[in-house]
Amino acid sequence: MKQLSFFILPLLFSFPVAGQDLSEIIYPDKFRNSKSDLAKNNIAMETIYEYNSQKKKLDSTKACTITYDKEGNILNKQDFYNNMLSVNERYVYTADKKLHQIIIDSYPSEDQRIFEYEYDSLGNEVKEYIYNRDTTSLVTNVKLYNSKNQISRYYTKKGYDSFRLEKIYYYNEADILTKIEIYQSMPQVKSIFSYIVNTNNNYEIAYHQELSNNKRKEEFIFDGSNRCIRLNGYAIQPIVYINEIGVSKREIKIIPRTQEFEYNIDGTLFRMTEKVGKKTTTLRKHFYTKH
């Protein structure tokens, strides 16, 4: 079998905090410090450098910069690709400091997406609108809450379609989030996030299982401070090759992928180390400037 090419497609996720809806963690650029740690440490700017494996060395590039107000709210986030600005995010707040809009501009395409939020009288986020500059594309997400003010259902729709149920949330007797079911279409469950807590109701482990493929399972490990310190996951490795009769074929391999998280004494993120198989492929280091 002659191998022509291959590449790694990593599992897309970001830094999780215990008790957070891990199903909302989709893209690596959501890798965040907690708002309370940012405010406590008077952080004004965070700069993240990424070190990617190239042959036998790690090439360093600036991945993004994030600016904050004194309450730890994000004001602006800029992502870089090959040291060039690729995405600019502007955060707009209401007078009482609730997030109203995120305006995302992409370069060089000049595409724009806007995320807009509505809240109920208790301050819970109840609606999220996602649309483009001329509003020709619209997604609406709705969150419902139970009598204890915990999110219980999540609905979504595109354009003028009907709403469909996407997530159901479950809690234990201590009102700690223990499971999220994600639906592709009712009543078919696509995947499940399950959380294991100890006797002090602190998280120890969280699992994400794709029900269509039992090899695709992620395991989030937490420390005693409810911070994620390790993700045991997987990467998808497509391989294209020529078989014995000269026909091009494509196979998929699932290989181990881990990310380990380290913290500064003040609780802010210090470093993330990623390994695919046994090889370190990416490092992310966080640097801070204070107000």
Q: What is the rounded CA–CA span in Å between residue 40 and residue 178?
A: 29
- pLDDT at site 1: 40
**Chain mean position to CA 129:** 19
Q: How many domains are contained in the chain?
A: 1
- pLDDT at site 210: 77
- pLDDT at site 75: 97
Q: For residue range 110-169, what is the model confidence (pLDDT) as tens digits? A: 899 999 999 999 999 999 999 998 888 999 999 999 999 999 999 999 998 999 999 999
Q: For residue 226, which of 6, 30, 36, 92 has the smallest C-alpha distance?
A: 36
Range of the domain at 212: 2-290
Q: For residue range 58-99, what is the model confidence (pLDDT) as tens digits? A: 567 888 999 999 999 999 999 998 889 999 999 999 999 999
Sequence letter at residue 183: Y
Return all residues near 265 (Cβ < 8 A) that are at least 6 apart. Answer: none
Tell me the three state secondary structure of residue 39.
Answer: helix
Instruction: Specify the pTM.
Output: 0.81
